[in-house]
């Protein structure tokens, strides 16, 4: 089975978490795209969706799935999204696709966060995947110096602007032993919009696609 087939398999498994007559939060990336495509088959069951990126909103709309403004929605029953890394505690690194800020907002609003990924995303310690940090453009050099002080090697993501008009620094060489603490610390650097550690609000369920089927971690 290819990595993409595993992503499709977990995306389909996540349909079990879709509750009739509710609003569903939608992530960003290739695994989330599979979920959007699967959701199209049961679109009449739901009231609508809130998307974590313009790209996902366009894909949803192309399927005729209603996309709502978060400000017009009071509750999201479940948020379904991929990840770049996950530990067994369901602490995540996200933001490989650069949508981390809106992803963190939609995850915060949602009652349940179901993370869908192929088995290669499961790690013992976060940080082998470079940690994405969304930064206000004028703060780029300052934030980069602060990240170096903390032992990271920030790399500017060339030619990329987030949906919020900001830049991304991908931080290499971090071994994240205390994800909650580092998430709080990095979020407090002036100029940082969002750090791609999802530990203060981890996933509630992790569905992992492997050769022998879908594994569920909670």
Note whether 125 and 87 are within 8 A (CB).
yes
In the complex with ligand 5RP, which residue's Cβ is closer, 52 or 77? 52
Residue 85: active-site member: no
Name the active-site residue from 12, 85, 103, 183.
103
Kindly give, in sequence order, each residue whose CB lies less than 8 Å from that of residue 206, ignoring residues fewer than 6 positions away: 86, 90, 115, 117, 122, 216, 217, 218
User: Judged by CB under 6 A, does residue 162 bind ligand 5RP?
Assistant: no
In the complex with ligand 5RP, which residue's Cβ is closer, 40 or 142? 40
Kindly give, in sequence order, each residue whose CB lies less than 8 Å from that of residue 118, ignoring residues fewer than 6 positions away: 3, 6, 7, 10, 31, 208, 209, 210
* Residues between 14 and 33 that touch ligand 5RP (CB under 6 A): 27-32
- Candidates 80, 99, 144, 203: give the one binding ligand 5RP (CB under 6 A): 99
| Rounded-to-integer distance, Cα 142 and Cα 14, Å | 40
In the complex with ligand 5RP, which residue's Cβ is closer, 146 or 170? 170
- Candidates 17, 24, 84, 167: give the one binding ligand 5RP (CB under 6 A): 84
Note whether 164 and 101 are within 8 A (CB).
yes
Kindly state the smallest distance separating residue 122's Cβ from ligand 5RP, in Å: 13
Report how many helices (DSSP H) and strands (DSSP E) the chain contains, helices first.
6, 13
- Secondary structure of residue 30 in the 3-state scheme: helix
- Candidates 57, 78, 100, 199: give the one binding ligand 5RP (CB under 6 A): 100
List interacting residues with ligand 5RP (CB under 6 A).
Answer: 27-32, 81-84, 94-100, 103
């Amino acid at each position: 089975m290819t990595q993409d087939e595993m992503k499709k398999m977990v995306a389909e498994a996540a349909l079990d978490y879709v509750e009739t007559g509710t609003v569903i939060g939608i992530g960003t990336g290739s695994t989330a795209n599979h979920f959007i495509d699967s959701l199209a088959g049961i679109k009449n069951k739901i009231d609508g969706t809130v998307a974590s990126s313009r790209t996902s909103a366009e894909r949803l709309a192309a399927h005729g799935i209603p996309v709502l403004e978060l400000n017009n929605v009071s509750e999201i029953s479940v948020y379904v999204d991929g990840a770049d890394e996950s530990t067994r505690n369901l602490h995540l690194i996200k933001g490989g696709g650069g949508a981390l800020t809106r992803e963190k907002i939609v995850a915060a609003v949602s009652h349940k966060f179901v993370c869908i990924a192929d088995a290669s995303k499961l790690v013992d310690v976060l940080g082998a995947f470079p940690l994405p940090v969304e930064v206000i453009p004028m703060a780029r050099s300052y934030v980069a110096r602060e990240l170096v002080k903390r032992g990271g090697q920030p790399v500017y993501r060339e030619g990329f602007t987030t949906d919020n008009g900001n830049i991304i620094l991908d931080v290499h060489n971090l071994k994240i032993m205390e994800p909650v603490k580092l998430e709080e610390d990095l979020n407090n650097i002036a100029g940082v919009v969002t750090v791609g550690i999802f530990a203060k609000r981890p996933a509630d369920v992790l569905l992992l696609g492997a050769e022998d089927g879908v594994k569920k971690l909670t």
